[in-house]
Amino acid sequence: MGHWLVTLYGPFFNLTAWENVLTSASDWAIIFSLIIIECLLSVDNAVVLAAQTQSLPTLRQQEKALIYGLWGSYVMHFLMIGLGTYLIKVWWVKVVGAGYLLYLCGHFFYQRHQAGGKKASGSNKLWLAVVQIVFMDAIFSVDSVLAALAISNKPIIVLIGGLIGILVMRGVAEIILKVMHRIPELEPMAYWLIAIIAVKLFLAIPQINIEIPASWFVVILFIAVGITLVIHFVRARQHAGS
C-alpha cells in the first residue's frame, strides 16, 4: 500500500522536479495550454456550481460555498491526478454523475413547484453545498485530468495547470452567480442546462462513446442565455407598463 502511494504521489514531493518545472519556459507554455483546456472543459462545471450555490439564502453563504469548495476541489484534483492512469477504467463514475445531475434538476423544479421557489436556510445547508461542489468537481475532473495527462506526462505540470484552471472557473461561477441575482430567470435556465450536461456526461461512457464537444455546449449556453435575457426584458417591460 505504501509503495503504491509513493509511486502515485511521490513526484509531487520532489523539490528538484518542482524547480525544473518552475524555471522552464517550455513547461510554463504547456501549463498555459492546460489552463485553457481546463477552462474549456469546465464551462459546464461553472454552470453547475453557480446553480448549486444559488440555492443558499444569502450571497455571503453562496460566496463562502465557492471558497470552501475551491479548497476541497484542490485536494480532489491532486488525488485525481495521482489516480489518472486508473480513471479511464471507472466509466461508472460518469453514470453516477449524470444521475446525480438529473436528480439536482428534478429536485429544483419539484421544490420550485411545491414551495414557490423558497431557498434553504441554515449553516448545514452551506456545508451540504460545499460537499456537492467537491463531489461534482470529482466527476468533472475525470475528463480534464485525462486530457491534461495526454498532453504532459509530468504530474507537477498537470497539477499547476489544473489548480490555476479551477481558480479561473471559480471566478466565472461567481460572475454567473451575481448575474443570477439580477436576472432570476437564469436560475431555471441553469437547471435545464444541467439536464443537458447530464445527458452529455452519460453519452460519453465507453459503452455509448458519443462525445459532445465542449464547443457545442458553449454554443448551447450562449443561445440559452440569449433566449433567457429576451424573456427577462420582455417581462420587465410588461411589468413596467402595467
Burial (CB count within 10 angstroms: exposed 0-12, middle 13-18, buried 19+), residue 120: middle
Q: In this predicted model, what pLDDT tens digit does every residue of 132-162 receive, in sequence order? A: 778 777 777 766 776 676 677 678 888 888 8
Q: Is the pLDDT of residue 227 over 90?
A: yes
**Which of the four pLDDT bands, split at 50, 70 and 90, describes residue 231?**
very high
Distance of CA 75 to the CA centre of its chain: 14
List, in sequence order, the alpha helices (H) in the chain: 2-9, 15-22, 25-41, 43-54, 59-82, 84-87, 92-115, 123-151, 155-182, 186-203, 214-241
Distance (Å, whole) CA 191 – CA 52 = 9
pLDDT at 201 over 90: no
Concatenated DSSP letters for 137-170?
HHHHHHHHHHHHHHH---HHHHHHHHHHHHHHHH
**pLDDT number for residue 27:** 86
